[in-house]
Amino acid sequence: MKDVLSEIEKYKLLPVVTLHDEEEAVKVLGALGKGGLPMAEICFRTPYAPQALALAEKFPDMMFGAGTVLDAKSCTLALDAGAKFVVSPGLSEEVNAVCRERGVPYFPGIVTPTELMRALALGIGSVKFFPASDFGGVKAIRALSAAFPMVRFMPTGGVSLENIREYLSLSCVFACGGSWMVKGTETGIIEKTRAALAAAQGV
């Protein structure tokens, strides 16, 4: 688990991708790698998601996890397909149970102190703050961190090239999630990924 978290923290940026077929997957994931970002959160919003995770064989230097995982069934499917970590938009105790059993990091989405207390009770200390921009952004994370200094956050939702430095300036933020860099042509994705990494690494 520590290796996965350390790898995400190293790049400070987790691209969130929704893929519909192999052609799109190869283009997007390949462009991320060429842009210098060897990881992706593949959302379980399409039937193709498990197959996209299985493409890890084509990208041996990249690390893929599953996002938008809502229940134990989807979590098991994702892990069987090769997901190295799991992300949810909210906190699911059944997803957490599967991840703990399989020894895989789980980053649930939270926005309130109550949700944070539930996460801590489940042994979760690194969470996704989602949707970040709609629930107070940097100010909200700073306030939550004051009450929960042991928690580390990954803001996602509304994060962009324009505000990523502000989020990462908080010591409690270990990475930012976002999808702005994975849209457009292959060349465009490469360029946006490089720009996002430069901004993240510059903090």
CA end-to-end span of the chain:
25
Catalytic residue among 12, 41, 84, 192: 41
DSSP per-residue letters across 98-162 = HHHHHT--EE-EE-SHHHHHHHHHTT--EEEETTGGGGTHHHHHHHHHHH-TT-EEEEBSS--TT
What is the pairing mode between strands 13-17 and 109-110?
unpaired
Give the dihedral of Cα atoms 118, 177, 144, 167; nearest 10 deg.
170
Among candidate residues 12, 84, 128, 192, the one labeled active-site is 128
Residues 6+ apart with CB under 8 A from 114: none
Whether 41 sits among the annotated catalytic residues: the reply is yes
Residue bearing tokens 């009770």: 121
Tell me the catalytic residues: 41, 128
